[in-house]
Structure 1
Amino acid sequence: MAEKVPPEIEQVAQQLDELQEKYNNLLNQRLIVESELKEINKLLETLNNIPPETKIYRSVGNIFFAEDRDKLVKELTEKKETDELIYERFKKDEEDLKKQISTLQEKLRGLLSKYYQKVSTPVTKTGSGAS
């Protein structure tokens, strides 16, 4: 017969699952922003390495539009700055979640340890004349 796990253990395990899911989602978002930053950096490097008189085009769907180089550099620089702030925030949030996950893991280990000690230790009744 399987014993029912105490509600406290179930609750901590559920909190741990939720935090790990939140961490994974945050990690995926950070990786997307990191990828965007790499792309922006490559674009800015390319724009800075070509002569100023070179015509620049931007693709919108299947159509190419002429773009002002300085305007594009300014736009990309602003996007880069915003993404860097978002990236740093994600990294900080990740570290906070790692700490919370670690704390919950320790709590769960302690609860499980106590629970399995109780389960594996035989219970003996002491008392006067109870049958």
Structure 2
Amino acid sequence: MKELKVAFILILCVFLSMPCFARRNIELAGSWKRIEKSYSTEIPIRIYLEDDNKEISIHFLENIGCVDICITTSNGCIIYNMRIDSSDVPTQFVKLNEVSKCSSYKVIISNELNVVSALFSVSKEGSE
């Protein structure tokens, strides 16, 4: 029985010491004007950062037409710049691990009427 308790405690310690990765939400700043008559302050875009594989996923909650996605480093270098149609591509994935050695980024999403942006940071390997 004592061996079982020791084994259980060891297994518990192993699981607690393993790094836990989670999806983090990146909050956008600004407002998004819609063409329809009703006005909503909610931005129809969600951005999530996957800590384990250094990837961001940009989800368009509704068809907002063509948008420009630009991701820059903290020193202003553009590492990703693309125009997509949200009706054709409702989710866009961008890998950050091989692109830059920086840990701080800015994402800017815009169309002809709106501009929203967010600052986010990626934890470097071995710093956790």
Query: Is the structural similarity TM-score above 0.5?
Result: no
Structure with more contact order per residue of length (Cα contacts < 8 Å, sep ≥ 6): 1
More strand as a share of residues: 2
Larger Rg: 1
